[in-house]
Amino acid sequence: MTAAAEDARSLSASVRARPPLLQSEQAQGLALISPTFLYALVLLLLPIAVVIAHSFWTQDYLTIDRSFTLANYREALTDPMYRDLLARSVSVSLAVSVAAVVLGYPAAYFISFHGGRHKNLWLFIIMVPFWTSYLLRVMAWKVILGYQGVLNTGLMGLGILDEPSTALLYNTSAVVIALTHAWAAFAILPIYVSLEKIDRSLLEAARDLGDGPLQSFLRVTLPLSLPGVIAALLIVMIPTVGDYITPRLVGGTEGIMIANAIQSQFGRSANWPLGAALSVTTMIVVSLTACIVVLAIKALARVVR
């Protein structure tokens, strides 16, 4: 028997000696992640399933009728108030996510390409504001944008305004500004990670082939960083739709979003089925919007390249 045949026989015997479940690395990986998967299944999918079930029921004060009905979805989709709130929420979340990416991309680019040995320090500086309470940061914007706030006082001191403006606070623009500041770091970090993964030799090759700084950015850096851009858009867009604290504090009646209506149904109105239907409708609309955004970015990237 040759040495090669002997090695093959010994390898086959060792494989047969293993437990059937652990005969492949894939099986070992599944064995490792299965507890985590079950944990996520219980804590994520089970609450969503409960919300979906409630959306098909009705409630009369404290009594829930578990008879199947689509009345809640009919009201959520046909009531002009809920339609307007949902449209406003999606538009605000899109504006916030785009603003966060537009403002965060240069910061992430600077840290990745020009941060040098101080990259960790820059990232630390970006994360420092998040050591404070979210409510304090939102209230700070009330101080900045208020009638007697910092911005009005500064503009009056420069002679741009004769009297304080009431258009800075309690509107949709104030909500967009506050949410963009609150979620900017969550846009910077995934973009930074994506930029760090870019092979710098590709940029050198682009320059050797005659591309200028702008061309190499559009043809190499930007396309390769798109996964981070898409992740940043989704990370910012999805949570901002469900934010109801910021619209309540700085939005006023013009900045109220769908999350405020959902919170009201689960709280003061005590109509959990309608609140659940609004939640499910919002989840579906946001998911479809996210898919459209991702497809649009990929199509735009192909056009640019």
Q: Does domain 81-304 have CATH number 3.30.750.210?
A: no
CA-based Rg of the chain, rounded to a whole angstrom?
26
Query: pLDDT averaged over the chain?
Result: 87
Q: What is the pLDDT of residue 241?
A: 93
| Selection from 111, 125, 103 nearest residue 233 by Cα | 103
Please report the DSSP string for the chain in residue order: --HHHHHHHHHHHHHHHS-GGGSSHHHHHHHHHHHHHHHHIIIIIHHHHHHHHHHTSEEETTEEE-S---HHHHHHHH-HHHHHHHHHHHHHHHHHHHHHHHHHHHHHHHHHHH-GGGHHHHHHHHHGGGGS-HHHHHHHHHHHHSTTSHHHHHHHHTTS-SS--SSSSSSHHHHHHHHHHHHHHHHHHHHHHHHHTS-HHHHHHHHHTT--HHHHIIIIIHHHTHHHHHHHHHHHHHHHHT--HHIIIIITTTS--HHHHHHHHHTTS--HHHHHHHHHHHHHHHHHHHHHHHHHHHHHHHHH-
Residue 31 pLDDT > 80: no
| Selection from 254, 97, 44 nearest residue 170 by Cα | 254
In this structure, the number of other CB atoms found within 10 A of the CB of residue 262 comes to 23
CA 305/CA 303 separation, integer angstroms: 6
Residue 262 pLDDT > 90: yes
Q: How confident is the model at residue 305 (pLDDT cuts 50, 70, 90)?
A: low
Of the chain, the percentage scoring pLDDT greater than 90 comes to 58
Q: What is the pLDDT of residue 290?
A: 92
Those residues whose C-beta lies under 8 Å from the C-beta of residue 142, and which sit 6 or more positions away, are 149, 169, 249, 250
Q: What is the pLDDT of residue 30?
A: 67
For 210: left if phi > 0, alpha if psi spans -120 to 50, otherwise beta; the answer is left
> Using one digit for the tens of pLDDT, what is the confidence trace for 1-17?
455 455 555 545 554 54
Break the chain into its structural domains and give their ranges.
Answer: 81-304
**HSE (CB half, 13 Å, CA atoms) of 8?**
5
In this structure, the number of other CB atoms found within 10 A of the CB of residue 180 comes to 22
Higher pLDDT, 41 or 11: 41
Q: What is the pLDDT of residue 22?
A: 45
> Using one digit for the tens of pLDDT, what is the confidence trace for 77-93?
999 999 999 999 999 99
65 forms beta bridges with 58
Of the chain, the percentage scoring pLDDT greater than 70 comes to 89
Q: What is the pLDDT of residue 11?
A: 44
Residue 268 pLDDT > 70: yes
CB 248 within 8 A of CB 260: yes
Q: What is the pLDDT of residue 29?
A: 64
Single pTM value for the model: 0.84
In this structure, the number of other CB atoms found within 10 A of the CB of residue 144 comes to 20
Q: What is the pLDDT of residue 280?
A: 96
